Chains A and B, each alone.
Chain A
Amino acid sequence: GQQVMQIPQYQHVQEGEDFTTYCNSSTTLSNIQWYKQRPGGHPVFLIQLVKSGEVKKQKRLTFQFGEAKKNSSLHITATQTTDVGTYFCAEEYNFNKFYFGSGTKLNVKP
């Protein structure tokens, strides 16, 4: 079953503030993926991290994979109202299943 924990559960920020969500696993991950689910929508793939210590950026989003490949983070700089949604990390287990973290719901106040 699920082995990856995600925190925080909720985050309310003022527009322009930064936001970070964290995923932690007790086991070494082969890779980790991040998804965004808008209210009423379906999860949409954001990024995949594979290498130890990997850092990837997508505009205001920065994704990190820990050196031990047991944790990952997503950081959003200067949030905008369009960033509203729930962010999930997902671990690939045994190269044939994907388990999702509990998600962090981000609310951005204009």
Chain B
Amino acid sequence: GAVVSQHPSRVICKSGTSVKIECRSLDFQATTMFWYRQFPKQSLMLMATSNEGSKATYEQGVEKDKFLINHASLTLSTLTVTSAHPEDSSFYICSAFARDSLFGIDSPLHFGNGTRLTVT
């Protein structure tokens, strides 16, 4: 169980266009979804925290108008990179989270496979 589907896995777009990335928890309802960005050989940087039906909470330095997050249901969150530029090229990865009882006492993050965005 605990499968998180993220797509697309790869996308190449031209500068100035927008790209939408979807993250779905397939077999459980996630109370929260997190969006991370990972640069090559680096750690995962938290971008935003998303709860169903409420506005996302963005980390300091992350432009909310640039990275639009919609959390329409307990199983779906989307990240839209608006007016993408080459510096937005990165690996974006979502994770779904459900507290406690679904997984015993542990509360792990379940990650999607990530989206490699290349902006030309």
Partners in one complex: yes
Chain A interface residues toward B at CB < 8 A: 1-2, 33, 35, 41-45, 47-48, 50, 88, 90, 92, 96-103, 105
Instruction: Tell whether, in the assembled complex, residue B107 and residue A102 are in contact, meaning their CB atoms are under 8 Å apart.
Output: no
User: For residue A103, which residue of chain B has the nearest CB?
Assistant: B43
Assembly CA distance A105 to B60 (angstroms)? 27
B49's partner among A44, A97, A100 (CB-CB below 8 A) is: A97
Is the CB of B109 closer than 8 A to any CB of chain A?
Answer: yes
Q: Which of B11-54 contact A (CB under 8 A)?
A: 32, 34, 36, 41-46, 49
Instruction: Tell whether, in the assembled complex, residue B109 and residue A45 are in contact, meaning their CB atoms are under 8 Å apart.
Output: yes
Assembly CA distance A33 to B110 (angstroms)? 12
Given contacts A88-B43, A100-B43, contact A42 B107 (CB under 8 A): no
Chain B interface residues toward A at CB < 8 A: 32, 34, 36, 41-46, 49, 59-60, 93, 95, 97, 105-114
A33's partner among B36, B108, B111, B113 (CB-CB below 8 A) is: B108
User: For residue A93, which residue of chain B has the nearest CB?
Assistant: B46
6 A-B residue pairs with CB within 8 Å? A41-B113, A42-B111, A43-B93, A88-B44, A98-B46, A103-B42
User: For residue A9, which residue of chain B has the nearest CB?
Assistant: B41
Contacts beyond the supplied A48-B105, A98-B109: 7 A-B pairs with Cβ under 8 Å: A33-B108, A42-B114, A45-B106, A45-B109, A98-B95, A100-B43, A105-B41
Assembly CA distance A105 to B34 (angstroms)? 23
Instruction: Tell whether, in the assembled complex, residue A96 and residue B108 are in contact, meaning their CB atoms are under 8 Å apart.
Output: no
Nearest first, the 4 A-B pairs at minimum CB distance are: A45-B108, A42-B111, A48-B106, A100-B44
